[in-house]
Each structure stands twice: as C-alpha cells, then as structure tokens.
C-alpha cells in the first residue's frame, strides 16, 4: 500500500536538519531560535520536538553525521598502499569534500563549545581519528624534512581546511587549480 502524500513524516525530519544546518552556519547556534528553524521549515515550533529531543540534540546530530560521513567517505576513496599518491589523494579529498559541505564544516569548527561534555567527547574522538589518517600517511611517506609528524599533520590540516574560509565558486581559481596548488604545497611542507 503506497502512502501517497498525506504524511510528511519522512520529509519533515530532513527538512528540519537542513534548516538548522543553514541557520546555525549563518547566525551561530546560540543566536538561532527553535522558532526560526520552525518558520524555515513551515511548521510551528512545538512540532520540531517530534524530530529532536531538544536544540542540543539537533546540533549534535548535525555534527555527528558530518564526522561519520567524513570518515566513511575517505575510507571509500582511499586507494591503496603507495604513500605519496595517498597523500595527494588525501589533499584532493579533503579540499573537495569540505568545499561541498561548507555549512557543516563551519558548524563543526565553530560550535564545539556548545556541545555538552558527553557529546563533545564523541565528536572529538572522531576528529582525532581523522587526524590519525593523515598522520599515518605522512609517516608512511617519511619525507626527509618531516620533523614532527603531529605538528606537520596539524599544520597541513589547518592549511587545507583554511580553503573553506576564502574559496568562492566562480572566483579567480577553479577547484582543480586550487587542489593542484595545494597538492604541490603540501608535498613541499613534508619535504617531498
């Protein structure tokens, strides 16, 4: 029996998350009210609580889904054993994946302090896991200039994620040009 149109139960949930994602990214978690999110979706504020236990739960789910997707997508993309091509591939993946999810990336960096301690610990663990991915690649590459693997990892990630703060579609450089420039810069940072 096909449910034709009546119930929006399978639509409203995703709409709530999409609206929250956009509004949190634009104005900040604390500055956005449940009423605003509801208005964006086209329902009354009370209806939101069918889809989230509370505002905090909404923020946490957005960040959790983002981090899970980051880790699982890399696992799919990750090609193979050759270290240097893995490094290039990681740089490309990180930049493009982050550019495609600017709102979620922004929230995941800016709103960490608005998570409860328990929720923060979960997100933090996934972030550390992602850092470890790059550190392992860098160690496998083992460039001569690679002094401290931890520091190099953090420096490279900061460099790559920084692209999100200035890149605009239709600007002077397209994505491919940015990726290639960063691939070259990262190689130099690690001394290869």
> Residue 8 binds what, of a copy of itself, DNA, none (CB under 5 to 8 Å, by partner type)?
DNA
The answer to whether 54 and 112 are in contact (CB under 8 A) is no
Q: How far apart are CA 3 and CA 109, in angstroms?
A: 40
Q: Residue 187 contacts by C-beta under 8 Å, 6 or more apart in sequence?
A: 84, 87, 88
Q: Which does 56 bind (CB under 5 to 8 A by kind): DNA, a copy of itself, none?
A: DNA
Closest CB 11 distance from DNA, rounded Å: 7
Half-sphere exposure of 148 (CA within 13 A, CB side): 4
Rounded CA Rg of the chain: 19
Q: At a CB cut-off of 8 Å and minimum separation 6, what does 157 contact?
A: 94, 131, 134
Residue 108 within binding range of a copy of itself, rule CB under 8 A: no
x/- mask, DNA, residues 4-43, rule CB under 7 A, reads ---xxx--x-------------------xxxxx-x---xx
* 33 versus 73: smaller Cβ distance to DNA: 33
Distance CA 170, CA 175 (A): 9
Smallest distance, a copy of itself to C-beta of residue 28, A: 5
Residues from 134 through 173 that contact a copy of itself (CB under 8 A) = 145, 147-148, 151-152, 154-159, 161-163, 165-166, 173
Residue 57 Cβ vs DNA, minimum distance, rounded to whole Å: 8
Name the residues that contact DNA, by CB under 7 A. Answer: 7-9, 12, 32-36, 38, 42-47, 49-50, 54-56
């Amino acid at each position: 029996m096909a449910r034709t149109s009546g119930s929006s139960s399978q639509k409203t949930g995703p709409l709530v998350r999409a609206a929250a994602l956009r509004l949190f990214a634009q104005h900040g978690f604390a500055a956005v009210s449940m009423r605003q999110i509801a208005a964006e979706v086209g329902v009354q504020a009370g209806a939101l609580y069918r889809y989230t236990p509370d505002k905090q739960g909404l923020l946490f789910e957005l960040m959790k889904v983002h981090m899970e997707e980051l880790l699982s997508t890399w696992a799919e993309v990750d090609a193979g054993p050759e270290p240097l091509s893995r490094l290039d591939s990681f740089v490309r993946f990180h930049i493009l994946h982050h550019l495609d999810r600017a709102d979620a990336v922004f929230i995941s960096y800016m709103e960490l302090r608005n998570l409860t301690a328990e929720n923060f610990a979960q997100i933090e663990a996934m972030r550390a896991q992602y850092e470890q991915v790059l550190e392992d690649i860098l160690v496998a590459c083992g460039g001569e200039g690679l002094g401290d693997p931890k520091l190099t990892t953090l420096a490279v990630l900061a460099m790559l994620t920084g692209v999100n703060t200035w890149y605009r579609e239709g600007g002077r450089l397209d994505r491919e040009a940015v990726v290639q420039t960063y691939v070259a810069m990262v190689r130099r940072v690690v001394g290869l």
